[in-house]
Structure 1
C-alpha cells in the first residue's frame, strides 16, 4: 500500500468491505468471480471512500463547513462524513430530488437546501455558498461528487483492499466497475498504477446507453457531453472529468468500455437479488450486466494462471427500493426475474 493510501486508511471513515467468491456468478461465467461489496458501506455505496478522504483533508486544512451539490450517493456520503467529523454540512439538492433523498440527507444532520432544476444549477448555487463563506469567516469547502485528488486517493483504497483480500499472489484478470462522472474509475486506475498492475488487469468500464459519456468520448477521442436519458440516474454525469478522461487515454492501461441497455442494468438488479439477497440500484446493475447477459464476453477477459475477475458492487439501496425497481421493470417490460416479458 502506498504511503498516501496508508494515510487515507489510517483512520478512514469508510469500511474495509468484504471480497466474497460468488458461486452463482462463477458458475454462470465459468471463471472465479469475486464481489467487492461496497454496497455494505455505511451510506450504501462506495462514495464514502472518496468523500471520507476529501472531508478529512478539508478538516485538517481548517475547514469549518462542508458543502455538497449532490442529492445522490455523494451527498449522502458527505452528510455522513460531516456528522462523524462534527462539521456543519450543507447539501444543495435540485428541485427534482425526492422526498426520500431530502429525508435521508437531513437524518444525518445536514442542512438541506433545495435550489436549481438540475445538478449544474445546484452546483453553481453551492459554489456561491462557498464564495460567500470567504467574507463571513465561515471557511467552507465544496466537496465535489467525483472530482479531486483526495477523492481519487480515497477511491483507490478499493484496489489496495482487493490485493490484500485475494489469495496470496493472485491478481484479478479484470475489474468490472460502473462509471458515472469517473471518480470511481479514476481511483481504480490510480490504484492499479500504484500496485504495478495497470498493464495486467483489464478494467471493464460499465455504463448504460443514455449515460455513456465515457464510451462516446473514447470512441471519438475527445470529451463528449451528452443528454442523460438512462434510468441509471447515479451514472447521470453529462461528461467525464477532463483529467479523468486524460488518464483513460493513457495507453499503459488495459481499459475497455462496456455499455448496457437499461433493461440489462435493471434486470441484473433482480437477478443479483435472487442470487445474493441484496438490493442494488441500476447504476450498479450496469457492472453486473456483463455477467448476466454477456457471460461469454466476460469469460474471454480471464487470462493468466489465476483467471479470476472482480466486480465492484458499488451501490445498494440508499435511494432505491423494490417498488422503484418494480416500476422500472414495468416500464421496460421485464418480469421480476429480470427477464423480458414476451
Structure 2
C-alpha cells in the first residue's frame, strides 16, 4: 500500500507540471443538497482531468530509471495525460486505443504528441498490446490506475482539498478502477481521519460496490453507462485493499441522476464536465447519504466530454 509519505513525494515530483485546481461553489446547489457543497475542479487541470497527476508521477520516475519510451492502453483521459507528460519530458509515447475510438479522442492524444495504435475493441485486447510494445521499445507500460506511483499522484488531490478547505466533513470521489479513490483515501485518512470519504459509482458499473459487499474483487463484465470513464469491470488488485481499509461508504447513482447533474452544472454553473464527474454531484443532489448541514467536497474528475455526446445528454 501507499502512505502519506508517498503522496508527499509525488507532490514534489509533479509540482512543475500540474496546477492546483480551484474549489467551486454554488449557493443554489448547496440549497438543493442541504449541505454546503464545493466542487474540486479537476476538469480545469492540464489535459482536462486528474489523470495528469498520476501519469506525471509514474512517467517521470520511469524516465529517471532510464526508460526510452512509454506506452498506455486508453481511449480517453489516461492516454492524453501520458502523451502530454511524455512529450514534455522528451520521450515518445504510444497509446493503444480501440478500433472504434472517437475521432476527437484520437486527435487529442495526437495533439499532445502521442502516437496512436488501434487494437481490438476491448481493454483485454488493448492492454497486452501496450505491454508488448513497451518491451519491444525498451519502454515502460503506464497502467491507468493499478500502480503505486499512479495512486500516489492521484492522492495529491486529497492533500489540496484539506489545504483549501480547513473545515470539511466529507469528500465524494468517483470510482472506476479505484486509483483516484485509493489516493484520496490515503491522503485524507492519514492526515485527517475524521473526514468521511465516500466513493460514487454508476449503478450500471457497480464493481467496487459489489466487491466491498462480498469482501473480494468481483468482475461484472462490460457495462454501458454514460459515465464512460468509470467503465471498469473490477477493482484493481492494488487499489482494492486501500478501499477496504479506509472507505466510509460507496453509493450508487442512476443514469438519469448522472444526466440531470451534468445538465445542472452546465446550465447553472457554466462548467463543462464529463458524465463521470457528474456522479459525485448526483450523489449529493439526490441525497445518497444521510449527511445534512455539512461541508462537502465533490470531486469533478474531468471535463473531456465529446461534443456529440454532450448534445445527446442535453436533449435526451
- TM-score with structure 2 length normalisation? 0.93
Number of aligned positions between the proteins: 311
Structure-2 separation of matches of 1:218 and 1:194:
21
Contact 1:173/1:302, CA 8 A, preserved across alignment: no
2:306 is matched with 320
Query: Secondary structure, in 3 states, of the residue corresponding to 2:205?
Result: coil
RMSD: 1.8
Question: Offset of 1:329 from its aligned partner?
Answer: 5.0
2:34 is matched with 30
Q: How does 1:93-172 map to 2 (within 5 A)?
A: 93-133=97-137, 139-167=138-166, 170=167, 172=168
Structure-1 separation of matches of 2:27 and 2:243:
32
CA pair 241-74 structure 1, distance change in 2 beyond 3 A: same
2:261 is aligned with 1:274: no
* Equivalent residue in structure 2 for 1:289, among 261, 267, 282: 282
Structure-1 separation of matches of 2:100 and 2:310:
19
Structure 2: which 5+ residue stretches go unaligned?
none
1:263 is matched with 256
2:291 is matched with 301
1:337 is matched with none
Contact 1:101/1:319, CA 8 A, preserved across alignment: no
* Equivalent residue in structure 2 for 1:235, among 227, 230, 252: 230
2:203 is matched with 209
Contact 1:173/1:301, CA 8 A, preserved across alignment: no
Contact 1:28/1:291, CA 8 A, preserved across alignment: no
Question: Offset of 1:75 from its aligned partner?
Answer: 0.5
1:311 is matched with 298
Structure-2 separation of matches of 1:221 and 1:194:
23
Structure-1 separation of matches of 2:4 and 2:198:
24
Query: Which shifted more, 9-18 or 73-82?
Result: 9-18
- How big is each residue's C-alpha offset from its partner over 1:133-173, in whole Å with a ceiling of 9 and x where there is no partner? 3xxxxx20001111111111111111111111114xx2x21
Structure-2 separation of matches of 1:33 and 1:319:
23
> Over alpha carbons, which structure has the higher Rg?
1
Contact 2:185/2:247, CA 8 A, preserved across alignment: no
Question: Offset of 1:120 from its aligned partner?
Answer: 1.5
1:188 is matched with 184
* Equivalent residue in structure 1 for 2:44, among 27, 40, 44: 40
2:243 is aligned with 1:248: yes
- How big is each residue's C-alpha offset from its partner over 1:188-244, in whole Å with a ceiling of 9 and x where there is no partner? 11112331x23x122221111221110111122221111312121110111100222
- TM-score with structure 1 length normalisation? 0.86
Structure-1 separation of matches of 2:24 and 2:106:
33
